[in-house]
Amino acid sequence: MNERVDEAGEARSTTPSAATGSGTEGAGTVGAGPGRVLVAVYGIFALAAGARAAVQIARQFDDAPLAYVLSAFAALVYLVLAVALARGNRVLALVACGVELAGVLIVGTLSLVDPGAFPKATVWSGFGSGYVFIPLVLPLLGLFWLSRRK
């Protein structure tokens, strides 16, 4: 146990306590090891999807507002997932993975069934075919990883 001496001369633990919610127990199990790869990939996808959506919304919003807003939403979900995994917030990560998987499946199916509904591709169009299907695989990997961490 790590200790330091406070102003009153008393020894205090510098090890974060899980009871106070400031511990790293969750981060050690969720965002460690291969979980770090997920954090990095989600961070990269948040940046890529967010930058793409920002440019499309700023320059071509009238061409396909739904598609561009969905891409911005996907970027937000990726950002939430990266932060949740990095901080070890398992519940938030599970919810975000569920939202991501639902988004990929719903938008992916609709984009194939009714291509006119999405005149411009989103991150999740065609189940993420524009991103080598990584948007379809990521939530499955995330859910698998989270299910293996207790």
Please report the DSSP string for 95-133 in residue order.
Answer: HHHHHHHHHHHHHHHHHHH-GGG-SS--TTGGGTGGGTT
pLDDT per residue as tens digits for the range 76-129: 999 999 999 999 999 999 999 999 999 999 999 999 999 888 888 889 999 999
Task: For residue 11, give the H/E element and its range.
Answer: strand 11-13
Taking the complete model, does pTM exceed 0.85, yes or no?
Answer: no
Q: What is the pLDDT of residues 6-56, one digit of tens each?
A: 565 555 555 444 433 433 444 446 667 778 999 999 999 999 999 999 999
